[in-house]
Amino acid sequence: MKSNLENPAAGLTELQAMVGREGPSFEGPDPVNTAMIRHWCAAIGDRNPAYTQPRHDARTQWQGVIAPPAMLQAWVMPGFGVPPADNDPIAQFHKRSAELGYSSIVATNCEQEYLRPLRLGDRVSVRKRIEAVSDEKRTALGAGIFLTSRFTFTDGDGHEVARMLHRVLKFKPGQPGASAAVPGDAPTALRPRPNLTHDNAFYFEAARERRLLIQRCTGCARLRHPPTAACAHCGALGWDTVQSRGLGTLFSYTVIDAPVVPPFKPGHVVGLVELEEGVRVVAELVDVARDEVAIGMPLEVAFLQCDPQLVLPVFRPRADLPVVMIGSERAIAFPGAGVQALPRTVTPDDVRVGARLARLEVPMTRSYIVASAMATRDYQDVHHDPDLARARGSQDVFLNILTTNGLVGRQVTDAFGPNAQLRKLAIKLGATAYPGDTLVIDGQVIEKQAAPSGGVDVKVRIRGTVSRGEHVSGQVWLRLPAAGETA
């Protein structure tokens, strides 16, 4: 060896041996308090009265101020100029991985689960644990390893109040990985031919005429699908067909990533669609992103010309249904300025799968980026010092993750109102938000189900973009109390 570089495999083994390392409980410097909450709400732009108005009891279910759930980490940030403790396992990992060449860091995922609202006076402590260390991966940024850490938050009595999983990429800057081998699109590959029989040929012939036909028993008039020779109900062999209106809802689905079989692309979605007429049809779903697919979503048939010989029925989201908005008036009234009015309370009946949340647009001024970093108690220089940010390879200061978390939380409570209880937030981070840009966050309800305690549990998909691309995507779980429980 002509250099004194350490054996990379041994270094990685050493880092992976840190999995399971756990630090002591660290108590945040200040109890949950109105000053920090007010500062955070002002910086983030969150006007939810549940966080700031001591006398809002008549309008919310909280009976006293609660801390913004997405503010969670702010309570245990050490503060300005305080170095990480020697026994902090995450700090140990960062130090050692930097020595091994993985000197740059970018956060990729954050998942927070809120077990109960935090209230004034709560003393929040955190315990950090190294949960997983990946093998070295080639990424667009360079060769790197993913570190997953688990944070457990407890109150003054030692009861768990929240959990967080955090994932970062530690990478060697300036060594962009060769793009991973992706199987070619193989444009000449044709879809597999259907295995035609006397009983099922009608289905594919009708598809060529852009009609969706269903087999009907001439003995008992029951519809059946997939086609069969005899009726399972009455045993009759005679059948004819009826034309379906092509409208239905998604009963179940699967997303196929592997194996990659051309001409299919990874991530194509296959649904089990329950037609209005009562039978279920397996077909590809089109015009819908995989994370927008939701059981129960209204669908309509379309016909896909796969190649000159083959036409297949496929399904897409129904275009004729009006888009249901939650908080739409506010978004329309104040385009570009975010939600201005006080949020109202949304009742469970207002919520429909597929409903879109009022768009949140946040101009990324330099002041906003700096003020929100301070309000989340994140004093990393890349969020407030442009020269130091550039020295670290960034084009300018940029929005910190704690603020992204806060904005995702705000997007949801702006739309659903002060009684919405944020229960979990899971985000994936992408394009950096720099000064001069605008962060635009959209949301859509993808699941709704009865909550054990009354009310409903709602799952929302969110996506926030800046001019460089997708800044954040993910899901938020919230609970709405039963209509009667809110004033």
Residue span binding Zn ion (CB under 5 A) among the ranges 20-28, 171-179, 228-236, 342-350: 228-236
Residue 38 or residue 224: which is nearer to Zn ion going by CB?
224
Q: Does 237 bind Zn ion (CB under 5 A)?
A: no
3-class DSSP assignment, residue 447? strand
Q: Which residues contact 314 (CB under 8 A, 6 or more apart)?
A: 283, 284, 285, 286, 301, 302, 303, 304
| CA 170 to chain CA mean position, Å | 22
What φ, ψ does residue 363 adopt, rounded to 5°? -65, 130
Residue span binding Zn ion (CB under 5 A) among the ranges 211-219, 270-278, 370-378, 392-400: 211-219
Q: Cα–Cα distance between 27 and 100 in angstroms, integer?
A: 31
Amino acid at 230: A
Q: Cα–Cα distance between 164 and 351 in angstroms, integer?
A: 28
Q: Does 219 bind Zn ion (CB under 5 A)?
A: yes
User: How many positions of this chain bind Zn ion (CB under 5 A)?
Assistant: 7
Strand 356-363 versus strand 325-326 pairing type:
parallel
Q: Does 391 bind Zn ion (CB under 5 A)?
A: no
Q: Does 279 bind Zn ion (CB under 5 A)?
A: no
Q: Does 234 bind Zn ion (CB under 5 A)?
A: yes
Residue 33 or residue 228: which is nearer to Zn ion going by CB?
228
Q: Does 236 bind Zn ion (CB under 5 A)?
A: yes
Residue 176 or residue 219: which is nearer to Zn ion going by CB?
219
Work out which of 76, 90, 133, 231 binds Zn ion, going by CB under 5 A. 231
Q: Least distance in Å: CB of 224 to Zn ion?
A: 8
Q: Does 208 bind Zn ion (CB under 5 A)?
A: no
Q: Does 242 bind Zn ion (CB under 5 A)?
A: no
Work out which of 95, 193, 208, 233 binds Zn ion, going by CB under 5 A. 233
Q: Which of left, alpha, beta for 15 (phi over 0: left; psi -120 to 50: alpha)?
A: alpha
Residue 78 or residue 219: which is nearer to Zn ion going by CB?
219
Q: Does 288 bind Zn ion (CB under 5 A)?
A: no
Q: Does 85 bind Zn ion (CB under 5 A)?
A: no
Q: Does 217 bind Zn ion (CB under 5 A)?
A: yes
The answer to whether 359 and 347 are in contact (CB under 8 A) is no
Residue 280 or residue 424: which is nearer to Zn ion going by CB?
280
Residue 233 or residue 265: which is nearer to Zn ion going by CB?
233
Residue 223 or residue 286: which is nearer to Zn ion going by CB?
223
Amino acid at 61: Q
| CA 142 to chain CA mean position, Å | 25
Q: Does 189 bind Zn ion (CB under 5 A)?
A: no
DSSP conformation letters of 62-131: SSS-B--GGGGGGGG---TT-PPPTT-HHHHHHHHHHHTT--EEEEEEEEEEESS--BTTPPPEEEEEEE
Residue 436 neighbours by CB distance under 10 Å: 12
Q: Does 362 bind Zn ion (CB under 5 A)?
A: no
**Residues of this chain that bind Zn ion (CB under 5 A):** 217, 219-220, 231, 233-234, 236
